[in-house]
A = this chain, B = another copy of it.
């Protein structure tokens, strides 16, 4: 099966701890790497996860808080030192280009490659990336500033031809695309051969949703319904629920409610507040609501 892997580079929140880097992840879809948020140290963790810079062409920034984007300058500079030539695309809410351009001009006087900034609106879901096999759509979130999550969805693939049956019925090559896409075959004698006999289903398209940072927001549920893997921030434990609401963050059990109501395959929680010496309380509270929950941790890799 082709790769669909999530790498956690950092899963802490704004305050640094000795246990966690700030937020950054990389989704590997068939060896194309997509970075999601880029907190300080992301490039170090990228290396530690043995990922290849040359495979990274798109970075998605959820919102312009420092713990989600302070790693960009270092990463961009490193790619320049490495002599990158391919364009690098950075998708974010409005404002990032204006902030980074003077810094880039000063610290990287000669750029070997282009950084292209793409702003997305944060009020409504929108398609912001598409290739042959994948789409990326924004998930509007509610935080202290404009913020979106991201839904990465593989496109459905045509069915696989069952070679033996094609040979058996001596089906001409020019019919094969129609059959892959679901058509039956009618023989020269007028007999209809059902598509189900001629093909077997391709792998189910996989999907990953990233929701951080946000207050508990059930309005995301229809959009992330049935995803294979949901990363949801779980900054606080239930005891700190008032603090979560006040700072527009989510508790672990709220994240699990979202996962349960969206009927996702697995829930991965992260963006842990520095106040928890270990996150077992968060795992317990989330698992009580949605058992298929895991704690994020640095260099964790989840394969779908």
Contact = CB atoms under 8 A, between A and B. Distances in A.
Interface of A: 14-18, 21-22, 40-41, 43-44, 47-48, 64-67, 70-71, 73-74, 77-78, 81-82, 95, 99, 102-103, 106-107
Nearest to A72: B70
Nearest to A106: B99
Contacts of A14: 77-78, 81
What number of copies of this chain does the assembly contain? 2
A44 B16 contact: yes
B44 A21 contact: yes
A53 to B, nearest CB: 10
Contacts of A17: 47
Given A15-B82, A16-B78, A43 B40 contact: yes
Q: Which 4 A-B pairs have the closest CB atoms?
A: A40-B74, A66-B77, A41-B41, A66-B107
A22 B41 CA distance: 10
Contacts of A77: 14, 66-67, 70
A156 B110 CA distance: 47
